Chain A
């Protein structure tokens, strides 16, 4: 089947605008992750959804960032009042989470966000 998909692939916005980034995980994967890949910052964790559990939001850099996952599938990452330092590639990943086992995370192609 298809892998993780993300849209849009590129987004250019003006400082102060809100943006929404979408992630479609692999069907059947119960875990969904958002990461950010910035120049000079490497890959950093943002938020993690697992089934019906409360999401792990410990990586969100500020309250301008939020995410939701509807119906245990599609997820949307929202950035309000974007700042230039939000410019990065936003990666989504999903995994199957086998009981007691190690799970491989499958990554999407990313959304490149540029804030002017």
Chain B
């Protein structure tokens, strides 16, 4: 069975502070990991995926297979980063493309 765990329901930081949203997963095969974000009154959208190894809006995430983690990081938080963040896993290697989501972390960036 595949599972995604986001231990924090709410993370509150001040503008300019570093941010780390935690994500751990369990999967027997080789997973694909994603971070999706939902801003207020907007639809869910992809933020980044581990295979791209890119930085989007200053966010990065590294897949650590040893620790089965895919934490999302940003060195300096901005107020516009306030949103709901979901870590998700896809077992594409097994043909299962449907996403398994974590329960989400709400990031609040205070001025």
Contacts and interface: CB of A to CB of B under 8 A. Distances in A.
A43 B96 contact: no
Contacts of B51: 102
A7 interface: no
Contacts of A72: none
A31 interface: yes
Interface string B73-111: 000000000000010001010001111111110000000
A103 B90 CA distance: 10
Nearest to B88: A43
Interface residue tally on A, bucketed by range: 20 to 34
B9 to A, nearest CB: 10
A95 B98 CA distance: 10
Contacts of B62: none
B44 interface: yes
Interface in B35-71: 43-46, 49, 51
Interface residues of B, number: 19
Contact of A107 (B32, B43, B49): B43
Nearest to A107: B44
A76 B86 CA distance: 26
A103 B97 contact: yes
B98 to A, nearest CB: 4
A43 B86 contact: yes
Contacts of B99: 33, 35, 43, 45, 105
B102 A48 contact: no
A95 B86 contact: no
Contacts of B49: 102, 104
A19 interface: no
Given A105-B99, A109-B43, 9 more contacts: A31-B97, A42-B101, A43-B44, A43-B99, A43-B104, A45-B100, A95-B97, A103-B92, A105-B46
Interface of A: 3, 31, 33, 35, 42-45, 48, 50, 56, 59, 91, 93, 95, 97, 102-110
